[in-house]
Amino acid sequence: MVLTQSMQTALKILQCSQLELEHEVSTFLEENIMIEQDVNHEGDLDLSSYELETGSLKNDQNSDSIIENDNSSLDLDQETPFEVIEDWSAHEDSGSFDHLSFKSNGDEMDDFDTNTYEISLEEHLLNQLMLLKLSQKDFVIGAFLIDSLDDNGYFTQPASRMVDALSEQYPNIEIDEDEIMMVLRHIQQFDPPGIGATSLEESLIQQIKQLDPKPYWQEEAIDLLKYHSKWLLQHDLKRIERNYHFLEEEVIEMLEGFKCLNPYPAINYRNHKVEAVKPDIIVLQKGETLTVTLNEDILPKLRINRKYAKLAQRAKIEGRDLMRSQLTEARFFLKSIEDRFDTLLKVATAIVDAQQAFFLNGKKAMKGLRLQDIAEAVSLNESTISRAVAGKYMICSQGTLPLNFFFTNQVSSGEEDASGVAIRAVLQEIIAAEDKKKPFSDQKLQEILETKGHELSRRTVAKYRETLGIPSSTQRKRLV
Number of domains, the chain? 3
Distance in angstroms (rounded) separating the CA atoms of residues 178 and 338:
64
State whether 224 and 339 are in the same domain: no
Distance in angstroms (rounded) separating the CA atoms of residues 34 and 28:
10
Of 347, 377, 400, the residue that ends a domain is: 400
State whether 415 and 469 are in the same domain: yes
In 3-state terms, what secondary structure has residue 3?
coil
- 379, 385 Cβ separation under 8 angstroms: no
Phi, psi of 414 (to 5 degrees): -70, -20
Distance in angstroms (rounded) separating the CA atoms of residues 126 and 271:
14
Q: Is residue 427 part of a domain?
A: yes
State whether 344 and 221 are in the same domain: no
Q: Is residue 368 part of a domain?
A: yes
Q: Is residue 426 part of a domain?
A: yes
Instruction: Show Cβ contacts of residue 448 under 8 Å, excluding neighbours closer than 6 positions.
Output: 430, 440
Distance in angstroms (rounded) separating the CA atoms of residues 253 and 256:
5
State whether 259 and 125 are in the same domain: yes
Dmax over Cα atoms in the chain, in whole Å?
Answer: 100
For the chain, first and last CA: distance in Å?
Answer: 66
**Radius of gyration over alpha carbons of the chain, in Å?**
30
Q: How many angstroms from the chain centroid is the CA of residue 94?
A: 23
Which one-letter DSSP state was computed for residue 10?
H
pLDDT tens for each residue of the chain, 480 residues long? 555 667 777 888 888 888 888 888 888 888 888 888 876 554 433 333 323 333 333 333 333 333 233 333 333 334 434 443 333 334 333 333 333 333 334 343 333 333 444 578 888 898 898 888 888 888 889 988 998 898 888 998 888 888 888 888 888 888 888 999 999 999 999 988 999 999 999 999 999 998 888 888 999 989 999 898 888 877 788 888 888 888 888 888 888 888 888 888 888 775 444 456 789 999 998 888 899 999 988 888 888 888 888 877 775 566 677 888 888 888 889 999 999 999 999 999 999 998 888 888 887 777 888 888 899 999 998 888 988 998 899 998 888 888 988 887 555 444 445 567 777 788 888 888 888 778 888 888 888 888 877 777 888 888 878 877 888 877 777 655
State whether 341 and 241 are in the same domain: no
Of 210, 238, 269, the residue that ends a domain is: 269
Find the length of the chain.
480
State whether 181 and 251 are in the same domain: yes
Q: Residue 215's domain spans which residues?
A: 121-269
Distance in angstroms (rounded) separating the CA atoms of residues 289 and 360:
9
- 261, 207 Cβ separation under 8 angstroms: yes
Q: Is residue 110 part of a domain?
A: no
Q: Is residue 177 part of a domain?
A: yes
The per-residue DSSP string of 359-420 comes to HHH-GGG-B-B-HHHHHHHHT--HHHHHHHHTT-EEEETTEEEEGGGG-BPBPSSSSTTBBH
- 82, 13 Cβ separation under 8 angstroms: no
Q: Looking at 228-339, which runs of residues are DSSP E strands?
A: 281-286, 289-294, 302-304
Distance in angstroms (rounded) separating the CA atoms of residues 329 and 5:
9
Q: What separation in angstroms does the CA of 122 have from each of 38, 161, 264?
A: 43, 20, 15
Distance in angstroms (rounded) separating the CA atoms of residues 188 and 372:
56
Instruction: Show Cβ contacts of residue 180 under 8 Å, excluding neighbours closer than 6 positions.
Output: 141, 145, 159, 162, 163, 166
State whether 156 and 228 are in the same domain: yes
Q: Is residue 101 part of a domain?
A: no
In 3-state terms, what secondary structure has residue 79?
strand
Of 235, 269, 303, the residue that ends a domain is: 269
447: domain CATH number?
A: 1.10.10.60
Q: Is residue 405 part of a domain?
A: no
